[in-house]
Structure 1
């Protein structure tokens, strides 16, 4: 093959390499947090797993705020990333820019009715029933056993027998409607009063299932306020 024929491929490699330098990931360690406002291309790492800096699900674009790792018996199970619309982030920035961040911010975010998402990205393979059971159990104090079981069954119906290492579960909330999508598949929805805030309060409530996730989220948002 001639050198001229190889030129387009060479140019493509150079272009990709340039983008990788310009939009390099934010690397974090441990149960760290991540935040980024890259508009075009970008990744952030949450405890070794790459997360998109921006997603588009159920309409508006959403920006990654931050997150952390869910552990069980000191074993990494999945990393959690929190996403929200820019207008939501800006509204909460204005409200909490006067030093009132820790008292109400996480609760205000969980209760906000605009479009916001959780991305669960798995460090290891686990039983789908273990995932749905754990989330259902965590919802009981907020929505009651019957409603928690309804969401638990709904989530399980979206999953295969196992959630494999590297799998994604997107949970997008808009008002009282909750959309779930796994690994890029079409989403399904369930409507239930109070479910959206209850799901976010699993991680951001007064008794989060994984304190490092809440800490990472709040620390990342605090950095956004300072910039």
Structure 2
């Protein structure tokens, strides 16, 4: 497809596509704000062609993944240089890999402190190191989500998606995010079980929070959930 064919596209994802060969004609898609491709396609190891990022100067969200554990990918310095040069408006990252190295690299070594507004990651990579890295951007973070591993699950059924047991330490660590991120608007951590006793330890600073999707400890039946919703509507916590 040519530049003219894609001129009106706002989002472009190439999840199972390897970008091969050199580009003969240079062009830029000014309208694309969300781009996704494999890490190795975006940052080629051996190529004289411009980075794929050079075609999307108004990019705000980058979605990339690497499930080749043996491939460490380009250096943090190169990724930082190319994102800064080609995509100065970049503020959102949707990142997947085997180990969690990509998200940690982006948050700590690539993105400048307090420049990340949106972040999405694999829930299994939650750790003290990840939460600490996220909090480097606490003054501007607006959206935090994890990938939906149960996209085919029927939400209309009166049952819960099965999840692995979560360490108590991880549950408490995630509380630091709404306590430290004043601009937080959307939270989607639906595999996380939130304990209201932990919530009430310290006030949340995100007063403009618009949506939150999470589990609440002990709310594990339809009857309990509906009863609690009625209480919340009346302004009661318990």
Could you say whether these structures have the same fold, taking a TM-score greater than 0.5 normalized by the shorter chain as the test?
Answer: no
Q: TM-score, normalised by structure 1?
A: 0.28
Bigger-Rg structure (1/2): 2
| Larger strand proportion of the pair | 1
